[in-house]
Chain A
Amino acid sequence: MTFALTDEQEQIQTVLRDLLLERAQPRACFDGGPSLDGDLWSALVELGFAGLGLGDAAGGMDAGLIDQVIAAEEIGRAVAAVPFLTSTVVSGSLLTQLGDGAANELAGSLVTGQRILATALPETRSTSYPVTAESHGAEWRLRGEIPLVLGGEIADVLLVPAIADGDLALFAVESSSPAATLTELPTLDPTRRAASVVLDDVITSRIGADADIPGMLGLARMRAQVILAAEALGAASRALELATEHAKSRVQFGRPIGQFQAIKHTLADMLVDVENARSATYNAAWTFDELGADAYLDVAMAKGLATENAVSTVNRAIQIHGGMGVTWEDDLHLLLRRTKSCELFMGDPGFHLETIAAHLLDGAADAIEAQV
């Protein structure tokens, strides 16, 4: 039974926490600054984190989603402005699964930090793909408008799913292509922005021609959902720490406010919520790594519960901080911006709870026992 982290995983945690504490500059993203902490990303690339979980063929490190989760938790804690989710986890995993030469080469350039990638995953509940591809001999022309690509504003290459001859196929689009127009979109969390993309006969080539693209996009989406849960978990852990420190040091009515049960019981409930978020997130990663058939339920649970608990934890941390908690100067709004974005993006809690409810309530009635 292993319901604990391995020594190597604890090492990832320590290395990243120290590095991010020293180097992350999320405030540089505000007031017109860029949404990429370039120096920090270079440092992470140097240490191999850009290739975490991407395997040998791409020059990365073999690792599971659980290892990526541990890294994402630290990134969330520091509200670091790095494209670990969009470039490494989503785009990198897609490419290495495709496993052909072109895909590995592209993934390799991501691992070395030469390029940053983003993937135009369809929006939650969308029923169609907005891009179509037409073949012209060996090359393809892509047309369409994608309203929101997370991390698209800093991407050198976009992975774009498009309908080609009635099937879903995957294409790599250079964002510098003259026929591609990327417009940066301001976001609630300026450390993580997005772009809208217009493709007007972009000439490109297809990657992973024989692969099951819908299936792989589904897996990429699940990975992203667990990583969003992990980032939210990290940010919530930080908020709990800040609120606990504040409750110990802030004196009112002649005693630390943490002695009042209104405050200490709130903090106790926050700890329970954070630990539950951790259980849900790690569990989803473990199950996903073991290719469990019901992994989608564990992912729904992680994304729904962990992000919801995280947002509510940060909100209570703000309340405990009183007036300072709502100032620009205090870091809590950074944590709130990140956790709330993690909660909303790729299915809000209600959406994921409904996934679980459908499994429990709409299947064959005789299977209830096996479901619960």
Chain B
Amino acid sequence: MTQEIYSEEDERFRQEIRDWLAKNLPDGWGTKDFRLSRDPLERNQWLRGWQKKMAEDRWVGIHWPEEYGGRNATLTQQVLYHTEMVRSRAPRPIGFRGLNMTGPTLIVHGTPAQRERFLERIRLAEDIWCTGFSEPDAGSDLANLRTRGEIDGDELVINGRKIWTSAAQTGDWLYTLVRTDSSGDKHDGITCVMIPLSSEGLEIWPIRRNTGSAEFNEITFENVRVPLENVIGQIGGGWHVARTSLAHEHYTLFIPSQLQFSRTLEDVIRLARSTKDADGRPRSELPWLRERIARLWITTKLVHINGMRNIAKVVDSGVPGPEGAIMKLFGQEEEKKLYELALDVAGERGILDRGAAIAPDRGKWGFGYLGSRAATIGGGTSEMQRNTIAERILGLPHDP
């Protein structure tokens, strides 16, 4: 869309990543001839190897400063990078949480020793990071967290529970918040700490989702001991540190999600054209489905335009604004609609699940429908995004 004209330097950059991907993606990539292993551990090993390969040529964490192995990439270059990654359907770096959250946080708040110890391992996928913010009693009200961290000599002793941590079974480290002081305001006394997932006293309990699969976990801590050198920033300064890391969730990440959304919509369109009702009429001729398909096509365009407008604003003002909440609210609400549409396009046979021979698209849409119910909950509920928009953009009073 619109005026996407790039400088010669940016075009060279685009060509460079495009060539690199063409040369390094495995043979048959993106076709039926290449399939990643279904075994989680083998899959994990392969993906770690892929990220390492990218990292060796400095193609992960390109927004990091050069001294830490990044490219100090401009926002325009990040846009081009993500676009090329998606175009070639290259796998997303498995250590994306470390690259987008822990790494940038350490670069801002970490000690030289912490940077030395962790950053390169994050880049090379030698350490895969998970995050632990929520607790059973601290969801939207994150500052209400109760997992305790007591200082004992030069160690922190942790007791409590975290919930909704993804990929903990295959990860190495947890980036989390604990309460080291409960005497003052709930935002004070929170400390940001890095915990090895192999620690003694730490247990991982998979949570089965409504789809039947288990991507999330609950983590319990019973006298888990980590050295104080694993604290990021000041003891008691964790709320401030966490706010920076959440702000680092990157402005250009809408590009992969938007392209993913477009691809799913393409599948829905194929389904609508190929699925016929009992009278032989393709479901793509049904007016009520046509309108909804058109609306979701508009959504894919809007996500892109909004994202680019947001970038233009960040470039202009130099700081991230609350506009991210607009994109998040709209994007997550629309993601639910997309899967609702998919199942409705499938029609009567949409009731069939995987395993039924006549299920449309082998029954994959029921899984997506159930799974996407989480879209308006995870990473900040839609209600919290509305509060952010109302309070920080429109200047309305805070909740009581």
Binding between chains A and B: yes
- A357 is contacted by which of B291, B302, B330, B383 (Cβ under 8 Å)? B291
A1 near B389 (CB under 8 angstroms)?
A: no
Find the A residue at minimum CB distance from B400.
A259
A307 within 8 A of B: no
Evaluate whether A1 and B4 lie within 8 angstroms (CB atoms) in the complex, with A268-B390, A271-B326 already known: yes
The secondary-structure label for the interface of chain B is: helix
B6 near A369 (CB under 8 angstroms)?
A: no
A248 near B313 (CB under 8 angstroms)?
A: no
B386 near A264 (CB under 8 angstroms)?
A: yes
The secondary-structure label for the interface of chain A is: helix
Task: Kindly supply a per-residue 1/0 record for chain B positions 370-400, scoring 1 wherever the CB is within 8 Å of any chain A CB and 0 otherwise.
Answer: 0000000000000101110111011111111
Stretch at the interface among A112-120, A163-171, A276-284, A336-344: A276-284
- A1 is contacted by which of B76, B298, B398 (Cβ under 8 Å)? B76
A127 within 8 A of B: no
Task: Kindly supply a per-residue 1/0 record for chain B positions 284-297, scoring 1 wherever the CB is within 8 Å of any chain A CB and 0 otherwise.
Answer: 11000011011101
- A129 to chain B minimum Cβ distance, whole angstroms, is 29
B241-282 interface (Cβ within 8 A of A) = 262-263, 265-266, 269-270, 272-273
A357 near B290 (CB under 8 angstroms)?
A: yes
The number of residues on chain A lying at the interface, defined by a beta carbon within 8 Å of a beta carbon of chain B, is 46
Find the B residue at minimum CB distance from A353.
B294
Evaluate whether A361 and B290 lie within 8 angstroms (CB atoms) in the complex, with A258-B396, A272-B330, A275-B306 already known: yes
- A69 to chain B minimum Cβ distance, whole angstroms, is 13
Find the B residue at minimum CB distance from A350.
B291
Give the CA-CA distance A2 to B5 in the complex, in Å.
8
Find the B residue at minimum CB distance from A244.
B394
- A268 is contacted by which of B305, B308, B386, B400 (Cβ under 8 Å)? B386
B400 near A372 (CB under 8 angstroms)?
A: no
- A2 is contacted by which of B284, B312, B398 (Cβ under 8 Å)? B312
The number of residues on chain B lying at the interface, defined by a beta carbon within 8 Å of a beta carbon of chain A, is 54
- A271 is contacted by which of B293, B308, B394, B397 (Cβ under 8 Å)? B394
A278-294 interface (Cβ within 8 A of B) = 279-280, 282-283, 286-287, 290
Give the CA-CA distance A268 to B385 in the complex, in Å.
9
A4 near B298 (CB under 8 angstroms)?
A: no
A244 near B395 (CB under 8 angstroms)?
A: yes
* Contacting residues, chain B, for A357 (C-beta < 8 A): 290-291, 293-294
- A264 is contacted by which of B266, B306, B387 (Cβ under 8 Å)? B387
- A370 to chain B minimum Cβ distance, whole angstroms, is 10
* Contacting residues, chain B, for A269 (C-beta < 8 A): 386
* Contacting residues, chain A, for B386 (C-beta < 8 A): 261, 264-265, 268-269
B389 near A272 (CB under 8 angstroms)?
A: yes
- List chain B positions with a Cβ less than 8 A from chain A: 1-6, 76, 79, 262-263, 265-266, 269-270, 272-273, 284-285, 290-291, 293-295, 297-298, 300-302, 305-306, 308-309, 311-313, 316, 326, 329-330, 383, 385-387, 389-391, 393-400
Can you list 17 A-B pairs, Cβ within 8 angstroms, ordered by A? A1-B312, A3-B3, A3-B311, A255-B397, A261-B386, A264-B391, A264-B394, A264-B396, A275-B306, A276-B302, A276-B330, A298-B1, A356-B294, A360-B297, A362-B284, A368-B266, A372-B269
Complex A-B, nearest 3 residue pairs according to Cβ-Cβ distance, in ascending order: A357-B290, A264-B390, A268-B386
